[in-house]
Amino acid sequence: GENVEQHPSTLSVQEGDSAVIKCTYSDSASNYFPWYKQELGKGPQLIIDIRSNVGEKKDQRIAVTLNKTAKHFSLHITETQPEDSAVYFCAASILGYSTLTFGKGTMLLVSP
Amino acid sequence: NAGVTQTPKFQVLKTGQSMTLQCAQDMNHNSMYWYRQDPGMGLRLIYYSASEGTTDKGEVPNGYNVSRLNKREFSLRLESAAPSQTSVYFCASSTLPGQGANGYTFGSGTRLTVV
Q: What is the 3-state secondary structure (H, E, C) of chain B?
A: CCCEEEECCEEEECCCCCEEEEEEECCCCCEEEEEEEECCCEEEEEEEECCCCCCEECCCCCCEEEEECCCCEEEEEECCCCHHHCEEEEEEEECCCCCCCCCCEECCCEEEEEC
Say whether pLDDT at A13 is over 60. yes
How confident is the model at residue B40, as a pLDDT? 84
Q: Determine which of B104, B105, B108, B111 to mutate to test the interface with A (most A C-beta atoms within 10 Å).
A: B104
Say whether pLDDT at A64 is over 90. yes
Say whether pLDDT at B106 is over 90. yes
Considering only CB atoms, A99 lies closest to which of B48, B103, B106, namely: B48
Percentage of chain A beyond pLDDT 70 is 100
**Average pLDDT across chain A, whole number:** 94
Q: Are A19 and A37 in contact (CB under 8 A)?
A: no
Say whether pLDDT at B101 is over 90. no
How confident is the model at residue B114, as a pLDDT? 97
How confident is the model at residue B98, as a pLDDT? 61
CB distance B43–A97 less than 8 Å?
A: no
Say whether pLDDT at A103 is over 80. yes
B90 touches chain A (CB under 8 A): yes
**Average pLDDT across chain B, whole number:** 92
Task: Give the mean pLDDT of A12-29.
Answer: 97
- Measure the CA–CA gap between A98 and B62, rounded to whole angstroms: 20
Q: Are B89 and B75 in contact (CB under 8 A)?
A: no
Percentage of chain B beyond pLDDT 90 is 83
Q: How many CB atoms lie within 10 A of CB A70?
A: 8
pLDDT band per the 50, 70, 90 thresholds, residue B99: low
| Phi, psi dihedral angles at B101 (to 5 degrees) | -60, -30
pLDDT band per the 50, 70, 90 thresholds, residue B14: very high
How confident is the model at residue A52, as a pLDDT? 86
Return all residues near B88 (Cβ < 8 A) that are at least 6 apart: B36, B37, B38, B109, B110, B111, B112
pLDDT band per the 50, 70, 90 thresholds, residue B1: low
A/B interface, count of CB pairs below 8 Å:
69
CB distance A34–B103 less than 8 Å?
A: yes
Say whether pLDDT at B44 is over 70. yes
Say whether pLDDT at B49 is over 60. yes
Residue A52 distance to chain B (closest CA, Å): 14
